[in-house]
Structure 1
């Protein structure tokens, strides 16, 4: 590839911003819980709630590579994709690869579970609780708090697998997955011979996703 090689947008700025904010927030949420900084933990948890909610909405109305429907259609080619990886016949996917689709859905599900249980959790003394804990009994709040702790272990495992997969792609398949998630672009030559869908960001969908997510975060924070 030369310096003048044309590049094409794969990941829009919203997907990239949400991704890297999540990368920052997960360890901060763990640290604030471990150090008993619960006011910070709650604020960061609401921030994560807004990010996950935005990503779910963006998965319905966003750019082509952000949407869930094309990702689901990728699952059918998983067996063929794994076979090519074993033969070291890696070729860049425009968006998530069939294997990455499972990782994305698993991480989003784990994050959503972590947030949902945190919103209703109650600590053992009943002194600290999520903003929606008043809607459930103390016993239910305690059960959700236990799930909240156990689910974080699952989330940590999924994150570890995600990082390991990136390392395998980098060192074994010589594929840089981090760079495109920073810049949003890949060389057009990576997709030679492929008919690429339109991947343009539009103002109305992005504003709708932002406003709905922010409104839900504000409503829950006021409720608590």
Structure 2
């Protein structure tokens, strides 16, 4: 066997800790936002805290998409429409794809989730229920615009629930039809290379830099909010 062709059991590191931390922390924040707003009374303060955390996570992930590890960078998984369409044609084949990180469809799902969640968290800063709860920046925009943004915030959350459901369905599809487990690598950071795929050279940025960036983003978000 060629030295460039690994065996199917070869494991390589695919996801760095910052990406995995972001993924699962965002899942927790989303669940907290939903439950605090829909399932529990008098829990809106927790909803607000979850929104702040979501905003920090999203902004960090966007920056990490430019300065992070190879598989975290947008340039490694954002593909053209034609390339994405061609990849979609392979979904009927019941075997794992050849992508190391996000596949083209998964890459656009990442962009969609980041974009909609950024808008969701951003509108929450200006939202108000006209009773006891309002975002920290609601008074900046006036009652009319705040009401508009509040409506958008509520409607967009329902759309995000559908998007999350689609994401979970896709993970299950890959697990049971494509025989590609996407969950374990997002937990451990390692995955089995598909048979016949050469081991790539991936660059991983140190966790220390990620922690520094995350801290700066947190300060940049929370300090202005606390001042106003």
Deviations 1:142-193 (A, max 9, x none): 1101000000011000000000011111111121111101101012x42644
1:9 maps to 13
2:166 maps to 161
In the alignment, structure 1 residue 186 sits paired with structure 2 residue 191: yes
Aligned mate of 2:142, from 115, 137, 141: 137
- Between 88-97 and 57-66, the greater mean CA deviation after superposition: 88-97
Show the 5 A alignment for 1:1-224: 5-34=9-38, 35-73=41-79, 76-125=82-131, 127-187=132-192, 189-190=193-194, 192-194=196-198, 196-202=200-206, 205-224=209-228
Distance across 1 between alignment mates of 2:94 and 2:210: 38
| Shift in CA distance, 223/152, structure 1 to aligned 2, threshold 3 Å | same
Distance across 2 between alignment mates of 1:195 and 1:178: 20
Distance across 2 between alignment mates of 1:195 and 1:74: 24
Higher helix fraction: Structure 1 or Structure 2? Answer: 1
CA RMSD of aligned residues (A): 2.1
| Shift in CA distance, 12/67, structure 1 to aligned 2, threshold 3 Å | same
Distance across 1 between alignment mates of 2:219 and 2:141: 23
TM-score by length of 1: 0.89
| Shift in CA distance, 153/30, structure 1 to aligned 2, threshold 3 Å | same
TM-score by length of 2: 0.88
Listed as ranges, the gaps of 5+ residues in structure 2 are 1-8
Distance across 1 between alignment mates of 2:160 and 2:73: 22
Contact 1:131 1:220 in 2 (8 A): no
Contact 2:71 2:202 in 1 (8 A): no
Listed as ranges, the gaps of 5+ residues in structure 1 are none
Deviation, 1:89, is 4.5
